[in-house]
Amino acid sequence: MKSTQYFYLLIIIFFFLLNLIPSPTSATHDNTNTNTHTSILFTTSGRLSYAFDIFAVPTTHSPTKSNELQLTDGNSINFNGHFPASLPPSLVSHLPDHSLITEKLPFHLIYVTERNGTHHIFYDAVFHGTSQSPERRAILELSGSTRVQVPLVGVDQSDGRVSLKDKPSLAGESLIYVSTHEDSGVPRRSWAAVYSTHLGSGSTRRLTPKGVADFSPAVSPSGVWTAVASYGKKGWSGEVQELDTDIYVFMTRNGSGRVKVVEHGGWPSWADDNTIYFHRRCDDGWWSVFKAVLSGERGVDSVSTQRVTPPGLHAFTPAASTVNKNLIAVATRRGTSEYRHIELFDVVSKKFTEITRPVSPHAHHLNPFFSPDSSWVGYHKCRGTGNGRGSDTLLLENLRNPIPGISLFRIDGSFPSFSPSGDRIAYVRSPGLYVVNYDGSGLRQISSRSAFSTAWDPKRKGVIYTSFGPIFASERTEVDIMSINVDDKDLSYKQLTIGGQNNAFPSPSPDGKWIVFRSGRSGHKNLYIMDALEGEAGGLRQLTEGPWTDTMCNWSPDGEWIAFASDRENPGSGSFEMYKIHPNGMGLRKVIQSGTGGRTNHPYFSPDGKYIVFTSDYAAVSAEPISNPHHYQPYGDIFVIKSDGSEIRRLTHNSYEDGTPAWGPTFIKPVDVELPNGGHPCSFEDCHWLSVRPNVSVMDASFGLGSAKIECAQ
Ligand SMILES: *[C@@H]1O[C@H](CO)[C@@H](O)[C@H](O)[C@H]1NC(C)=O
Ligand SMILES: *[C@@H]1O[C@H](CO)[C@@H](O)[C@H](O)[C@H]1NC(C)=O
């Protein structure tokens, strides 16, 4: 052999040996988790169309479209802004030398942003015209020279732990904010707590006592005090509208001197160091703003509270002016508009002044805040298609996953499922059933009917199962399971169940011979197994039986188990535990229960069958629901657990409803995938329970109203 041939041979042998030696990274992954290089999808209803940016309008001019400024950069979603009263040296050092001495002072904005798959708090200095002649164009023509952007806290400031970040404000060099990076350690106890990060040194301390959850922090004008909405020791009892919180005050410096100042209230805002405005839902059904005056030497001896906004409209999420103690900015819902708007309210003259309706009448505006001199009011809204980058709606939004090696995505639809090879996704976007390649190509509507819960046949290529009919319906509702060959030109359908009776959640056995599903045919929703090809005509067996609901079943990839959700411990209560059972009806076991009265729903096995992903209220709520658009179940987060019920891990951290997860066998590249048709910007809804005839509905939505009778008197 010539020496070059030896050389090539050696190279071939070298690469052959290299292949035999497992690489260190894959070896460690295999030891700890055989699901690396898989993907999880889930749903967050409405969230992918938020496209929030922070805007501001002057309070000194009558508000018009031409003096509204977009302050944030049109990337991802930006919300819950705060204009700091003074700028600490660590932020000043980021600004160009001349910027604070020119006539055109920049906006200094602190806000929450969801980007790169998790929450961050950013500081932006936005350069613009004078407040006398706002130069809107300068903002729209964003370039490096008109904006300084500084990420303040994110994953790295939370020891690498993914978390929700919320409601930031500044006290000197300290950033005060909510984070959920510490496990409360107790099922159904919120992880939301207030932290302080020193911007100079980066050191972070927790201000909320262990075992307590705090929401919506606000720092007093002097910086000495912070007010929060908190459960204290009592904890969350399942509220999804108004939280049953009280208002507490503590020292911003170290969390000490903590005292309850108001029973029943949320979203505090300080006018001065003794005056707090807050919101509460009254016994007459209206959300109203209240004023609490604290008196006492050091700390608080007595508090007088007074309702300041009248019944007849909802007024909430107040922001107090620190210049005029009688001026507040509020979000309102009035009978005269379908939309949430920002208004000013003078507490003495009882006069409202519209801020956003003249600017954009057909948009929701959320969570107002004042500039330090009260000459501007900020808020967030969907940037829509006119401003900024417009509609960047996504099909798949990549999220940072605390479990390495597993790609995590939010999909613009619900009930997703993966094809056996993981290259296609079936999902529902109301109303209609779609199939798409995981890279966003080949999007195709399969049906325009109202479908739910999709599944792919593991053996017959292109065959999917779903059920058509209304969701959350009674046992006798007409819902039937179909198989559809989506590779057929004419989409051949086959109806597998007969005669309605709420047949849903089909999940095939790994050999493709059987389908487990839930049916209301006995008068209760229980699980059944039928022939996959011929449907129940080809063979039907009842798997579970009892006067309760068994539902959301999923067959494990090794064929051994069927996981499902059941309310059998307390039928009809709304509480669901997760169980698993062998397909032969033996070995029933509870996998997990989320505290007393909790929910664990939509189990879905990992491709190796060793783990289950599901949605749960295990981490309770993470923010006041009224500060967001509508979510039916704002406590929903995605969790993974070993299928023996051990090692629960939280994957998502937000104040939205995350649900219907699915786990696929391939690793989808962890980058966002845009919707080929541009998407559906701003197609979210305001809280359904903000009824403009609240007296009708308030009786059945009585959370936290027990003590409200006297408190709400005018
Ligand atoms: C987001 O990712 C991009 C690209 O990796 C990076 O340049 C940027 O700094 C990241 N932003 C944040 C806030 O982490
Ligand atoms: C908290 O700070 C206050 C004011 O500086 C101080 O008096 C108090 O001792 C501190 N408490 C703790 C627990 O550090």
Per-residue pLDDT tens over the stretch 475-519: 788 899 999 999 998 888 999 999 889 999 999 999 999 999 999
Question: Residue 285 pLDDT more than 50?
Answer: yes
Q: Which residues line ligand 2 (CB under 6 A)?
A: 251, 253-254, 256
Stretch 317-327: mean pLDDT: 97
Which pLDDT does position 389 carry in this prediction?
43
**Higher pLDDT residue, 570 or 389?**
570
Task: Pick the ligand that lies closest to the CA of residue 252.
Answer: 2
Distance between Cα 256 and ligand 2 center (Å): 6
- The residue among 466, 421, 403 whose CA lies nearest residue 664 is 421
Strand 424-428 to 414-418 pairing: antiparallel
Q: Does the Cβ of 99 fall within 6 Å of ligand 1?
A: no
- Say which residues have a Cβ less than 8 Å from residue 631's Cβ, sequence separation at least 6: 45, 46, 240, 625, 655, 656, 657
Distance between Cα 75 and ligand 1 center (Å): 12
Question: Residue 16 pLDDT more than 90?
Answer: no
Query: What pLDDT, in 10s, does the model give residues 634-664?
Result: 999 999 999 999 999 999 999 999 999 999 9
Identify the structural domains of the chain with CATH numbers, from first to last: 49-389 (2.120.10.30), 392-475+505-517+552-678 (2.120.10.30)
Question: Residue 573 pLDDT more than 90?
Answer: yes
Which pLDDT does position 267 carry in this prediction?
98
Beta-carbon-side half-sphere exposure of residue 136 (alpha carbons within 13 Å): 13
Question: Residue 559 pLDDT more than 70?
Answer: yes
Q: Does the Cβ of 151 fall within 6 Å of ligand 1?
A: yes
Which pLDDT does position 103 carry in this prediction?
59
* Stated length of the chain: 714
d(CA 139, CA 134): 10
d(CA 478, CA 450): 12
Q: Does the Cβ of 670 fall within 6 Å of ligand 1?
A: no
Q: Does the Cβ of 630 fall within 6 Å of ligand 1?
A: no
Q: Cα–Cα–Cα angle for 142, 147, 151, nearest 5°? A: 125
Q: Does the Cβ of 206 fall within 6 Å of ligand 1?
A: no
For tokens 């956003």, the residue is 356
Atom of ligand 1 nearest to the CA of 116: 1
Instruction: Give the pLDDT band of residue 8 (cuts 50, 70, 90).
Output: low
Distance between Cα 269 and ligand 1 center (Å): 33
Question: Residue 357 pLDDT more than 80?
Answer: yes
For tokens 């005060």, the residue is 176
**Nearest CA residue ID for atom 1, ligand 1:** 116
Ligand 2 pocket mutation pick from 206, 252, 256 by most atoms within 8 angstroms of CB: 256
**Nearest CA residue ID for atom 8, ligand 2:** 256
Q: Are 215 and 228 in contact (CB under 8 A)?
A: yes
**Nearest CA residue ID for atom 14, ligand 1:** 116
- The residue among 213, 216, 281, 215 whose CA lies nearest residue 242 is 281
**Nearest CA residue ID for atom 10, ligand 1:** 116
Instruction: Give the pLDDT band of residue 159 (cuts 50, 70, 90).
Output: confident
Q: Are 368 and 390 in contact (CB under 8 A)?
A: no
pTM, entire model: 0.91
Question: Residue 705 pLDDT more than 70?
Answer: no
Which pLDDT does position 101 carry in this prediction?
57
Instruction: Give the pLDDT band of residue 298 (cuts 50, 70, 90).
Output: low
Query: What pLDDT, in 10s, does the model give residues 576-623?
Result: 999 999 999 999 999 999 999 999 999 999 999 999 999 999 999 999
Question: Residue 17 pLDDT more than 60?
Answer: no
- The residue among 73, 76, 75 whose CA lies nearest residue 47 is 76
Q: Are 246 and 260 in contact (CB under 8 A)?
A: yes
Which pLDDT does position 15 carry in this prediction?
47
Question: Residue 216 pLDDT more than 70?
Answer: yes
Question: Residue 714 pLDDT more than 70?
Answer: no
Query: What pLDDT, in 10s, does the model give residues 430-477?
Result: 889 999 999 999 999 999 999 989 999 999 999 999 999 887 778 788
Strand 493-495's sheet: what is its strand order? 451-456, 463-468, 480-485, 493-495
Task: Pick the ligand that lies closest to the CA of residue 149.
Answer: 1
Ligand 1 pocket mutation pick from 75, 115, 116, 155 by most atoms within 8 angstroms of CB: 116
Stretch 305-333: mean pLDDT: 97
d(CA 711, CA 705): 10
Distance between Cα 294 and ligand 2 center (Å): 21
Which pLDDT does position 164 carry in this prediction?
97
Which pLDDT does position 477 carry in this prediction?
84
Q: Cα–Cα–Cα angle for 688, 692, 697, nearest 5°? A: 70
Distance between Cα 225 and ligand 2 center (Å): 12
Distance between Cα 115 and ligand 1 center (Å): 8
**Nearest CA residue ID for atom 8, ligand 1:** 116
Task: Pick the ligand that lies closest to the CA of residue 154.
Answer: 1
- Output the CA torsion sign for 51, 52, 54, 57: positive
Distance between Cα 116 and ligand 1 center (Å): 6
| Average model confidence (pLDDT) across the chain | 88
Question: Residue 204 pLDDT more than 90?
Answer: yes
- The residue among 708, 312, 710, 617 whose CA lies nearest residue 699 is 708
Distance between Cα 226 and ligand 2 center (Å): 14
H-helix or E-strand spanning residue 20 = helix 3-20
Which pLDDT does position 588 carry in this prediction?
98
Instruction: Give the pLDDT band of residue 326 (cuts 50, 70, 90).
Output: very high
* Cross-strand pairs, 582: none
Which pLDDT does position 297 carry in this prediction?
67
d(CA 525, CA 547): 8
Which pLDDT does position 387 carry in this prediction?
37
Q: Does the Cβ of 115 fall within 6 Å of ligand 1?
A: yes
Q: Does the Cβ of 119 fall within 6 Å of ligand 1?
A: no
Strand 535-542 to 526-531 pairing: antiparallel
